[in-house]
Amino acid sequence: MEPVDHFRGFLKKNGLAFTSARAAILKGIVASRGHFDADALHEQLKRVGESLSCATVYRTLPLFVQSGIIKETLRSKGRARYEPAWGLEHHDHLECVACGRIIEFRDDELERLQDKVCQRHSFRPVEHRLGIRGYCSECGKKGT
Amino acid sequence: MEPVDHFRGFLKKNGLAFTSARAAILKGIVASRGHFDADALHEQLKRVGESLSCATVYRTLPLFVQSGIIKETLRSKGRARYEPAWGLEHHDHLECVACGRIIEFRDDELERLQDKVCQRHSFRPVEHRLGIRGYCSECGKKGT
DNA sequence: TTGCCTGCAAACTCTTTGCATTTCC
DNA sequence: GGAAATGCAAAGAGTTTGCAGGCAA
């Protein structure tokens, strides 16, 4: 199933309308393969000729989160950031403090270990975020 | 060495002054054993009779981070949160989405595994944050 | 004395909200 | 037609900054 179909279903189920603005935002999300924030998404849509107010973007993003199309990731400089979640497995992030590059990775053993920690504390996990900040291979070569 | 001595050394080394405001903030940090945010710290200091502007708190916190007295942790509701880092081993967090309780834990194997992931990507880690959100044992009992 | 510090208030950034109007079903 | 969605602009929260005066070294 395509994201758009899933999203239409989600809207219908909740008595919400599939509007042109929402269609545009979804297109923007799909186009920006990777991480983005509200402002970047808004800018991108403007570039493509879609004119939406940023209020609409902010009002709509939670719908995409709820429907599972995207998810919030670590905030950066006070901005909420998102990434596509549709059809993707969970993964964690390496974030380069020098160039800002984000490297995604997944490690099953790491996941299992986290579950063990939760069990040990009788904690029922809903979600987790692991972010490792440091220097990527490129920036690491250059020094410091 | 006491935190205050370490901090004085840090200031001296950087040509900065050890002022009464900074002393008060340090006392506040030490007193609030655990997590806090700028606002909570400011409130606590007011309660003890110290009158500082919040601008000073905001301006001073980065000094404590740089000196290693505290460190930033996961943000919550748009607020930067901090915790003491002086003399404490690194640890990670379980955060209850129901009651807000934060449980700290440390798992050496988890740490090692993270290093392995970094090696695999030729990534030199500086710091990492692992936050697991879910329901603590208390809230888990009550339902949902 | 020479800067660094501070308080105050205004500015800023990201995000949310109220209201009148438009769009969807 | 009626509920829901939108744009606009103004409000909010948390945080930062400019400036004039105050303190540490």
The 10s digit of each residue's pLDDT in B87-124 is: 767 888 888 877 777 888 999 999 999 999 999 999 99
CB contact under 8 A, A117 and B125: no
Q: Which nucleotides of D are covered by protein (CB under 7 A)?
A: 3-10, 13-18, 23-25
A48 touches chain B (CB under 8 A): no
In angstroms, the CA A22 to CA A13 distance is 16
* Average pLDDT over all residues of chain A: 89
3-state secondary structure chain B: CCHHHHHHHHHHHCCCCCCHHHHHHHHHHHHCCCCEEHHHHHHHHHHCCCCCCHHHHHHHHHHHHHHCCEEEEEEECCEEEEEECCCCCCCEEEEECCCCCEEEECCHHHHHHHHHHHHHCCCEEEEEEEEEEEECHHHHHHCC
Interface residues 100-139 of B with strand C (CB < 7 Å): none
- Chain B residue numbers with beta carbons less than 8 Å from the beta carbon of A117 are 94, 105, 107, 110, 132
A126 touches chain B (CB under 8 A): yes
What's residue B112's pLDDT? 92
- Is pLDDT above 70 for A144? no
Sign of CA dihedral B49, B55, B59, B62: positive
Please tell me the class of the A3-84 domain. Answer: mainly alpha
- Is pLDDT above 80 for A27? yes
Q: pLDDT by residue (tens digit) across A49-96?
A: 988 999 999 999 999 999 999 998 877 778 899 999 887 678 888 988
Residue range A92-141, CATH number: 3.30.1490.190
A97 touches chain B (CB under 8 A): yes
| Beta bridge mates, B104 | B93
Q: Which of A110, A125, A136 sits opposite B117 (nearest CB)?
A: A110
- Is pLDDT above 90 for B11? yes
- Chain B residue numbers with beta carbons less than 8 Å from the beta carbon of A97 are 126
B17 touches chain A (CB under 8 A): no
In angstroms, the CA A14 to CA A93 distance is 33
What's residue A102's pLDDT? 82
Could you state, in order of their start, the residue ranges of all structural domains in chain B? 3-84, 92-141
Q: Is A24:A50 a contact under the CB 8 Å cutoff? A: yes
Reported confidence tier of residue A142, pLDDT bands at 50, 70, 90: low
Q: pLDDT by residue (tens digit) across B47-91?
A: 888 889 999 999 999 999 999 999 888 777 778 899 998 876 788
In angstroms, the CA A35 to CA A38 distance is 10
Q: Model-level pTM?
A: 0.75
